[in-house]
Structure 1
Amino acid sequence: MKTKYKILTFSFIFALALGLSSCSEDFLQTVPTDSVSTEIALGSTDNMMLAINGMHRTLYAQNPEIVRYYAGQQYVIPLAEFAAGDALHSSTGNGWFRSALQWNSFTDATNNDVTYPWWYYYNIIGSANNIINAAADLQPSDELNNVLGQAYTYRAWAHFNLVRFFAKAYMIGNPSTDPGVPIMLATEPPYEGLSRNTVQEVYDQIELDLTTAITYFEGATSRNDLSHLNIDVARGIAARVYLTTGDWANAASYANAAREDYPLMSESEYKSGFNSISNPEWMWGSKMIQDQTAYYWSYFYYTSNNFNGSQNRSNPKFMNHNLYNQMSETDYRRDLILADCPSTFDDWDAGENAGRYASEEEYDEAVAEYRVIVDNSSNHNMVPYQHIKLSQADGPTISPMDVLHMRAAEMYLIEAEALARQGSNTAAQDVLFDLVSARDAGYEKSTNTGQALVDEILLQRRFELFLEGHRWFDMLRNDEELDLEGSGANPDLYLDGFHQDKPSLNNMWMFRIPQRELDANPNMDQNPS
């Protein structure tokens, strides 16, 4: 992995430079960010925290060294949604994610959709490794514990994302022998290409890193804000990991502990756009700095109902009709899906009735009504079942909105599912009721047990976490086929993404190892086609 190690060296400089951009004017004047020595960068806890701040920034910052137009986790979140069939595209738009919808980007080793996640998460790992390995030279302190807790959490989180994208899912494979991804821990020569560790070895390292992180956080200073990681985030990531590996007892326990200090949001907060880190349910999010936005490469550009960009204007996103039709009429989450919204594509065309309206005047009235609801401009298209979950707070603008990475509702759902899979039906029903009754005034506590209860919880995950970056991974771990029949998706747009066999029968669910890695590393093997 000779090329990768060069990338990792750069990645730390990049992360540090991002962190330094928020430090004092005096420091910037005396130590230029493009010539920071290793001794200065890693020589104190304060400077290590600057590097941690830079890692936080990489979650939403563009990096022209690899793929200019991709901006960290802001690109990966929709990548984990748009090929999974719940959040659907209405048109080709301006081309963003079209190849992912059609299942021919992550199956192509030369495509940026595989190159970027591979580089991005190893970028995070490289920066974390530099901090972890240099910390041995510093005196222990509560502040250093905070830094190390965050670094170990980031390293675990990045390896977790890599092994889920680039290897066979844990529950449907043979983890002890299936090829995973290289575990990267070193920061010193020799810079030799590594072979792939097994899936089990990768998860063992992830669990070890999270256990270490939680230990450090127990003696750490408090985080500055929700952009930073803390013990709750580490526990939340651990809950995700244990849910993925089928360790139900740990999944339930960590999820319960993680959500303890985060109340569920109210109905008005739920309907406010999912755009502010001030939401009391958020456990981890990226606080956007107004003058450091990714503009047309942001999460909201790809997903929002009213961001003022060509992707949104030409290609409004809507919910799978089959999913919507399973939502209770008393569930207020249903209000964020506009089933009766007029289609500006084909409900009225050149004065001819091509849709649901008796006259052009009636159509115009409906469009005007829904413009107010969607809060978009006359240049935006609209479609039935369009979502209004992810909204610009100031109307159809390009203002940077905060980005969600973890919230308490997910922890309720992990806990409920893990309890149900252990056979603790009553406890699972209680946790599920606590969440769903807060969203649906008509919801009655479930009487389902066994697999029927698990299926109910999984359906509630789809309602609750729509467009938040979980659906791809849920389909992997539950071995679900992709079938868009009756979803409202256009088969001519989706092509191979309209139907795919379940992951246990279909290697296309595994991202291809990037060709750049294969070219640079003789020890790297490609995933099976």
Structure 2
Amino acid sequence: MKKRYLTLVMALGLLATSCDKQYLELSPTGSIDAGAAYSTTKNAAAAINGIYRAMVVRYLSSQGHFGHPAMMIIIDVLGEDVVISNTSNTWHLAETRWQAHRSETSVGDELPYQLYYRLIGNANLAITNIDNAAGTQTERNQVKGEALGIRAFSYFNLVQLFGKRYDAATKPNAQLGVPLVLTPTTEGLPRATVEEVYAQINKDLAEAATLLTASRSYKSHINLDVIKGLQARVALVQQNWADAAKFAAEARKSYSPMSVAQYQDGFSDIGNPEWMWGFDHVEDQSETFGAFHSYISSNYNSTNIRVSPKTINSALYDQIPATDVRSKMWVKTPTAANSIVPTGGVRVPYITQKFRLPGAAPSTSTMGDIPYMRAAEMYLIEAEAQARLGNAADAATVLFDLVSKRDPSYVKSTKTGTQLIDEILFNRRVELWGEGFRFTDLKRMNLPLNRNGATNIQSAVVVLFDVKPGDNQWEFLIPRREINANKAIVQNPL
């Protein structure tokens, strides 16, 4: 039995500080004071555990908005590849229709703002107080490095959602990003520029890299490999192709692609050799109907899974070779013999089988781990970056090293230029389906939303099929409660 994190009360509150209740609960609140939490490195490590736990609890009293894993689903349903099969269950419909993030009072718009600033607020307390904690320097470095990583991760998510895309051709990116809160405070701050936010993200990650090592007790915690993986993600978004390739290669070097058999295990076990970072679901902390697998898995016994299972865009799926194990992650024509669903669950074309909880269907436990970062992503970042640098041979080799593990019949690509990049991006879409990348991928590449051409995308479900790149709708609105409470902030264009 795995028992590792602090109590839910500690995770939601963590540390005491004054908080204006008009704000969107962005500051750490609640149960113990910062002095006690960071008086020793042992206490500080427990507080950091609580921050990790705060990534996966329900926010805004909403069952469907369970922290960062909910954002993974939302980021993908905002795109065209993760498809809600019908309107029988309404969870995340407003998000897939591009309504939630364009309503300043919706839960879907408030979630990322509250979630990531809550993590930032608690990380700031760690960063500010840990240097005076009793313990060894190695222990202080560990806590500070993880806190810096959490803060950088949170700002990276925020600026991609609430700011305009980063454009390397127009440095400095003077468009508005998000407020940079770097010390424990409840004072309302103005929005920093996108350039300033990315500079702080890179500064935090660079400092964390000097403090952390690859050593760690649990994959639920950030180590040096994860920091390098985050550096690779950030460099990719900033179109810094050389750094993206370098950091991705360094990040994945201690991890091996999973076998064909492992690929079919259900994506719910953090012990998988390819997983670099994830949520390690402990036995006494099930969120039941407010959990990732209640919405994305094939076999959990929830209403959402039974009546409105997730599917893959048919046009994307139909391009996957039958010899590729990833083709088995969805079923084009499902029957009782070839697809797993909970008792009474509907079977719809292109139904997902990728995420599956252990045991037979229906599963009554949401005890599934959640992948935040896998080595496969690093292969794909490295391949894309090398291709964009014009290094076609290097890009094709890295792509082959990954895809040949998925498809024994795969032949190393001889494509170059745009055709090679398209092949890499196709594999990225298939490989990372449901793991929270598609909306931000479209935005970083300045591509349109295009849901046309699929046989299983219904207008009644998605409503919206096309959004041009650069449209105001690519930006989440600053939540109204923050606008009302913070006189220094301004709204995104409506």
Alignment TM-score, normalising by the size of structure 1: 0.86
* C-alpha contact (below 8 Å) 2:64/2:70 kept by paired residues: no
CA distance in 1: counterparts of 2:146 and 2:22, whole angstroms: 23
CA distance in 2: counterparts of 1:176 and 1:482, whole angstroms: 23
Q: Structure 2 counterpart of 1:154, which letter? A: I
**Which of 390, 398, 414 is the matching residue for 2:364?**
398
Structure 1 residue 149 displacement after superposition: 1.0
1:526 aligns with 2:494: no
1:81 aligns with 2:76: yes
Q: Structure 1 counterpart of 2:458, which letter? A: N
CA distance in 2: counterparts of 1:9 and 1:525, whole angstroms: 20
CA distance in 1: counterparts of 2:384 and 2:489, whole angstroms: 36
Structure 1 residue 2 displacement after superposition: 5.7
**Which structure has greater helix proportion?**
1
Q: 1:32-66: per-residue Cα shift (whole Å, max 9, x none)? A: xx3x33321111111110011001111222356x6
Q: Structure 2 counterpart of 1:121, which letter? A: Y
1:105 aligns with 2:123: no
Computed over aligned residues only, the root mean square deviation of the Cα atoms, in angstroms, reads: 1.8
Provide the residue aligned with 2:190 in structure 1.
195
Alignment of 1:104-503 (within 5 A): 104-138=99-133, 141-171=137-167, 174=170, 176-188=173-185, 191-218=186-213, 222-341=215-334, 367-369=335-337, 373-394=338-359, 395-399=361-365, 400-487=367-454, 488-496=456-464, 498-502=465-469
In structure 2, relative to structure 1, the CA distance for the partners of 1:441 and 1:302 (3 Å cut) is same
Task: Decide which structure has the larger Cα Rg and report it.
Answer: 1
Q: 1:292-346: per-residue Cα shift (whole Å, max 9, x none)? A: 11111111111111111000101011110110121122211112221122xxxxx
In structure 2, relative to structure 1, the CA distance for the partners of 1:334 and 1:6 (3 Å cut) is closer
* C-alpha contact (below 8 Å) 1:238/1:251 kept by paired residues: yes
* C-alpha contact (below 8 Å) 1:240/1:251 kept by paired residues: yes
In structure 2, relative to structure 1, the CA distance for the partners of 1:158 and 1:475 (3 Å cut) is same
* C-alpha contact (below 8 Å) 1:172/1:479 kept by paired residues: no
Structure 1 residue 378 displacement after superposition: 3.5
Structure 1 residue 69 displacement after superposition: 5.2
Q: 1:114-140: per-residue Cα shift (whole Å, max 9, x none)? A: 111101000010010000001232365
* C-alpha contact (below 8 Å) 1:146/1:223 kept by paired residues: no
Q: Structure 1 counterpart of 2:210, which letter? A: T
CA distance in 1: counterparts of 2:46 and 2:397, whole angstroms: 43
CA distance in 1: counterparts of 2:103 and 2:24, whole angstroms: 24
Provide the residue aligned with 2:479 in structure 1.
514
Structure 1 residue 4 displacement after superposition: 7.9
In structure 2, relative to structure 1, the CA distance for the partners of 1:459 and 1:87 (3 Å cut) is same
Alignment of 1:18-33 (within 5 A): none
Structure 1 residue 283 displacement after superposition: 0.3
In structure 2, relative to structure 1, the CA distance for the partners of 1:276 and 1:4 (3 Å cut) is farther
CA distance in 2: counterparts of 1:4 and 1:287, whole angstroms: 33
Q: SS of the residue aligned with 2:273? A: coil
CA distance in 1: counterparts of 2:63 and 2:427, whole angstroms: 36
* C-alpha contact (below 8 Å) 1:299/1:403 kept by paired residues: yes
* C-alpha contact (below 8 Å) 1:61/1:293 kept by paired residues: no
In structure 2, relative to structure 1, the CA distance for the partners of 1:302 and 1:438 (3 Å cut) is same
CA distance in 1: counterparts of 2:193 and 2:295, whole angstroms: 34
CA distance in 2: counterparts of 1:382 and 1:173, whole angstroms: 47
Q: Structure 2 counterpart of 1:7, which letter? A: E
Q: How many residues align?
A: 471
Q: 1:198-256: per-residue Cα shift (whole Å, max 9, x none)? A: 000000000000000000014x8x31110111000000011000000011111011000
Q: SS of the residue aligned with 2:278? A: strand
CA distance in 2: counterparts of 1:133 and 1:300, whole angstroms: 36
* C-alpha contact (below 8 Å) 1:236/1:258 kept by paired residues: yes
- Which sections of structure 2, spanning at least 5 residues, go unmatched? 1-18
Q: SS of the residue aligned with 1:103? A: coil
Structure 1 residue 282 displacement after superposition: 0.3
- Deviation above 4 Å: which 4+ runs of structure 1? 1-6, 66-69, 172-175
Structure 1 residue 483 displacement after superposition: 1.9
* C-alpha contact (below 8 Å) 1:109/1:115 kept by paired residues: yes
